[in-house]
Amino acid sequence: MKEFSARQLHDFLNDESVDPFLLDVREEWEFDRCHIDGSVLIPMGQIPNELDELDPDRVTVVICHHGIRSRHIGIYLEREGFENVINLSGGVDAWAQDVDPNMAVY
């Protein structure tokens, strides 16, 4: 699994040659408070039940609040055969600090 900083992810997302799936694994109330545009919410506890809905061949960026839950899910996805997993180190908190200062924080 790769680890991207918020800046690295920002630059990666601006590359039109890539089309990653942005998987936000926080809870609904957290997602409602703030999220990265284009991300899809599947709370951490629901990932095993939703695994068939995810594409193991697509680059998957896993996102949470500080990067800890997303790292755990990234490890799980790799065990399930996903080869292109990126964890957003520092999560949406780092994104708000380094990329989007207008994003709500909590």
Does any domain span residue 105? no
Range of the domain at 68: 2-98
pLDDT tens for each residue of 7-65 = 999 999 999 999 999 999 999 999 999 999 999 999 999 999 999 999 999 999 999 99
For residue 36, is it within any domain?
A: yes
Q: Domain holding 81: CATH number?
A: 3.40.250.10
Examine residue 103 and state whether it is found in any structural domain, yes or no.
no
Say how many domains are in the chain: 1
Query: How far, in Å, CA of 6 to CA of 11, rounded?
Result: 9
CA angle, corner 103, sides to 99 and 104, nearest 5?
Answer: 145
pTM of the model: 0.97
Residue 18 belongs to some domain of the structure: yes
Contacts of 30 (CB under 8 A, 6+ apart): 65, 106
Given CA atoms 63, 53, 79, 20 in this order, what sign does their dihedral have?
Answer: negative
